[in-house]
Amino acid sequence: MAGQINRKTTKSDAAIEAQRLACLKALERKLLWLSSWMIHNANHLRPSRDGLKVGGHQASSASLVTLMTALYFSVLRPQDRIAVKPHASPVFHAIQYLLGNQSQEKLEAFRAFGGAQSYPSRTKDGDDVDFSTGSVGLGVAMTSFASLVQDYVSLKGWLGADQPEGRMVALVGDAELDEGNVYEALLEGWKHDLRNVWWVIDYNRQSLDAVVSDRLFGRFDSLFDTMGWRVVTLKYGKKLQAAFEGPGGTALQGWIDDCPNSLYSALVFQGGAAWRRQLAADLGAEPGIEALLEWHDDAALADLMTNLAGHDLETVLEAFEAIDDDRPTCFIAYTIKGFGLPFAGHKDNHAGLMNEAQMASFQARNGIAAGQEWEPFAGLELPAEDLRSFLSAVPFNARGARRYQAQRVAVPADLALPEVPRLSTQEGFGRILAEIARDDGPLAERIVTTSPDVTVSTNLGAWVNRRGIFDRHPREDVFREQQVVSAQRWMMSPEGQHIELGIAENNLFLLLGALGLSQSLFGVRLLPVGTLYDPFIQRGLDALNYACYQDARFMLVATPSGITLGPEGGAHQSISSPLIGLAQDGLAAFEPAFVDELAAIMAWGFDYLQRDGSGEAAADWLRDVKGGSVYLRLSTRPLDQLQRDLDAELRRQIIAGGYWLRPPAAGAELALAYAGVVAPEALAAHDELLEDMPGAGLLAVTSADRLNAGWHAAERARQSGIPEARSHVEALLAPLAPDAGLVTLVDGHPASLSWLGSVRGHQVQALGVEHFGQSGDLDDLYRHYRIDVAAILDACAAAALQRL
């Protein structure tokens, strides 16, 4: 304050406000220019080498320019986190450019290799993207879960003293509201008493293909309202509001309110003369309308009729600035797709690009001289110095880049093993976690579990009993109070460490994504573990991919899996999930058979989740330095456990993806490779096999994914001049005769292991499950789908025959 009073020019509040508005309006114009130019440059000026369309969305960007100007340059604070509508990526990059966080070079390379990304990307863009977007609807929901995570770490007292809680803000295309995952998140948010979330809906009434239904939007207010949200509708700008007060104003407002979306859009596109014709025809007889039409020439009339609130900076600022609490708020901001551009309002404008002539006239209108296109302040009336100093004081940018680092949590090399002779991997998982829960160390403290209504049936019960359920408000377990006997104690409190979700796998993956970014978003290390039934990975697959794309770190535990769930239902048998594990970037997939393997993988996994590329490595074939997320495909089938102690070498091999459970003789003619729960069949078949082929080996594959990744990496290394490169799977298969037969076995799609034959050119007989859907006990199912002992022996015989 004192500083302000002493300043040479003491400005009145009104003058300061006028200057702020002038700066914001100048920057708004600049953002429209830069975003349009960035796309134009990429499509028309950058030489094309492949003849492919580059694309970019000038109209979608224009739609959000005013709202983003207000938010980024005035309303947002450094602790706020934003998911930007994917197609407004150019506006986001232009904002970061003006704030000094993005280079001209990257803007010139928009959508080119290494340039600013098509859709904001946490991992591929360097300009401080909070949440990636691209697959519509997911970024929107992500903000809800990020807010839940913020509550989680805040209520545990883990936010630093200088870390106020932020708002999680989504800039939402109106067509994104067609995505069901948005409503799943809305419901879940309500259950968790969501706060600190803003969804700003860019209501341009257009999607990709068309103008959206009029009737639908009337329903949104009540929908959000029911879920406890405040709804703020931003419909009319200041000019229209003033016109409504003048002659003919009531009739005009009534006409606009009733105007169908498609007619409105068409008139926006056609401009002043068309507005005049339509208004004269529809309202000519109303008192005052004739005068109103007379006072406005065509340009002024078009200007008035398109003065929707979402393009009226003052209205937008007032609405945002009026909110001073943490209630979730949905702003429905009326906008025009392509506002300020020649194709404004045209229903086909989604991928529309200004042509050379249109761009030339747009450039002239912006007063930008040739060669000045990237100049931050060219063509603006305000002195560059004023704009520079305004930008340097923008609150959002006050702390610079907003990514945190969090300390790693030490993980013991050994996790305590349950001493049970016969056990499923699912039960083993539950017991290992329950044992961790007994401890008071940092590992137990930072694990947070979550599950979409399958907490008990995926064996998290014991963990939850010890660690409690997270809720912002302490709640007693009513059944317990009423002394109803139950194995589950569901105490809820801010100290709880399990987040219970309703059945919606999209929500599980979005929450895992948000929990798994906590170290970067909030500076708090969490070790998220999410459980679900393996087949339902596919329900949330896009959200899983989205979480991985953002490099969120979590352990996904999927159980039961495959046809081995037996009588519980054919529809739940998962076949393709091992292939998902093999192919999903950012996810190291494991399918252990025995619980000692599982314990070794979990101990490694909790550390792997925390790696960030800072270790030493000449090559990071398996991303062991970079780290990633972990997927464990588990089963409910109890298996006799092997009586053994894992030494360091065996552990290494389990993590690398496989080991010889029974090593082959040198030059062996046959080997059997199995993954996961079919180990007993593999062992029994191998026993029989040894009678005829004493040298045959039995390979336990704990991670087809990592064996495969190592193999490809070694091949790439050899191709690029490192002849001695050799992967784990190549070393494993080396003792076999070059023409040995290989039989592979998995309760999943056979292709997940059949590639092993390509490693050294062995002939493969691949057993697995390609068709599914039949309930039954394991005897029947394994026989029916040919993964039983008899089928394995048939395959071994065929492999032997092939050699003759």
Ligand X SMILES: Cc1ncc(C[n+]2csc(CCOP(=O)(O)OP(=O)(O)O)c2C)c(N)n1
**Residue ranges that bind Mg ion, judged by CB under 5 A:** 173-175, 204, 206
Q: Is 278 in the site for ligand X (CB under 6 A)?
A: no
The sign one gets for the Cα dihedral 127, 132, 137, 138 is negative
Q: Is 703 in the site for ligand X (CB under 6 A)?
A: no
Among 156, 337, 633, 728, binds ligand X (CB under 6 A): 337
Q: Is 184 in the site for ligand X (CB under 6 A)?
A: no
Select the span of 153-161, 167-175, 514-522, 702-710 touching ligand X (CB under 6 A): 167-175
Least CB distance from residue 158 to Mg ion, whole Å? Answer: 38
528 contacts 512 by C-beta, under 8 angstroms: yes
Q: Is 136 in the site for ligand X (CB under 6 A)?
A: yes
Least CB distance from residue 650 to ligand X, whole Å? Answer: 44
Least CB distance from residue 61 to ligand X, whole Å? Answer: 8
Alpha carbons 79 and 67: distance in angstroms, whole number: 19
Positions in 371-430 near ligand X (CB under 6 A): none
Q: Is 135 in the site for ligand X (CB under 6 A)?
A: yes
Query: What torsion, rounded to 10 degrees, do the Cα atoms 541, 542, 546, 551 define?
Result: 20
Q: Is 346 in the site for ligand X (CB under 6 A)?
A: no
Q: From Mg ion, ligand X, none, which one binds at residue 176 (CB under 5 to 8 Å depending on kind)? A: ligand X
Among 60, 102, 196, 426, binds ligand X (CB under 6 A): 60
Residue 133 or 150: the one with the smaller Cβ distance to ligand X is 133
Residue 26 or 169: the one with the smaller Cβ distance to Mg ion is 169
Q: From Mg ion, ligand X, none, which one binds at residue 111 (CB under 5 to 8 Å depending on kind)? A: none
Could you give phi then psi for residue 659, rounded to 5 degrees?
Answer: -155, 160
CA distances from residue 357 to 349, 353, 360, 362, 743 in whole angstroms, order as listed = 17, 11, 5, 9, 65
Residues 6+ apart with CB under 8 A from 160: 523
Alpha carbons 582 and 589: distance in angstroms, whole number: 7
In 10 A of CB 220, how many CB atoms?
A: 17
Q: Is 36 in the site for ligand X (CB under 6 A)?
A: no
Residues 6+ apart with CB under 8 A from 635: 424, 425, 426, 559, 560, 561, 562, 564, 565, 676, 677, 747
Q: Is 202 in the site for ligand X (CB under 6 A)?
A: yes
Least CB distance from residue 17 to ligand X, whole Å? Answer: 30
Least CB distance from residue 104 to ligand X, whole Å? Answer: 26
Residue 344 or 764: the one with the smaller Cβ distance to ligand X is 344
Residue 546 or 594: the one with the smaller Cβ distance to ligand X is 546
Binding mask 205-234 for ligand X (x = CB under 6 A): -xxx--------------------------
Among 204, 278, 727, 754, binds ligand X (CB under 6 A): 204
Least CB distance from residue 529 to ligand X, whole Å? Answer: 27
Least CB distance from residue 175 to Mg ion, whole Å? Answer: 5
Query: Taking CB positions, which residue lies at the least distance from ligand X?
Result: 173
Distance, CA of 339 to chain centre: 29
Q: Is 349 in the site for ligand X (CB under 6 A)?
A: no
Q: Is 133 in the site for ligand X (CB under 6 A)?
A: no
Least CB distance from residue 535 to ligand X, whole Å? Answer: 22
3-class secondary structure for 346-398? CCCCCCCCCCHHHHHHHHHHCCCCCCCCCCCCCCCCCCHHHHHHHHHCCHHHC
DSSP state of 45: I
Positions in 79-98 near ligand X (CB under 6 A): 85-87
565 contacts 572 by C-beta, under 8 angstroms: yes
CA distances from residue 265 to 40, 326, 755, 769 in whole angstroms, order as listed = 24, 35, 55, 53
Q: From Mg ion, ligand X, none, which one binds at residue 208 (CB under 5 to 8 Å depending on kind)? A: ligand X
DSSP states along 75-96: I--TT-EEE--GGGHHHHHHHH
Select the span of 153-161, 168-176, 412-420, 592-600 touching ligand X (CB under 6 A): 168-176
Among 195, 350, 633, 686, binds ligand X (CB under 6 A): 350
Q: Is 176 in the site for ligand X (CB under 6 A)?
A: yes
Residue 206 or 754: the one with the smaller Cβ distance to Mg ion is 206
Alpha carbons 73 and 233: distance in angstroms, whole number: 22
* Half-sphere CA count of 740, side-chain side, radius 13 A: 27
Q: Which residues of 773-790 are buried (b: 16+ CB within 10 A; e: fewer)?
A: eebeebeebbeebbbbbe
Least CB distance from residue 37 to Mg ion, whole Å? Answer: 22
Angle between the N-to-C axes of helices 238-245 and 298-305, in degrees from 0 to 180, rounded to the nearest 10: 100
Alpha helices in 609-678 (DSSP H): 648-656
Alpha carbons 747 and 788: distance in angstroms, whole number: 10
Q: Is 132 in the site for ligand X (CB under 6 A)?
A: no
639 contacts 424 by C-beta, under 8 angstroms: yes
Q: Contact positions toward ligand X, by CB under 6 A?
A: 60, 63, 85-87, 135-136, 173-176, 202, 204, 206-208, 337, 350
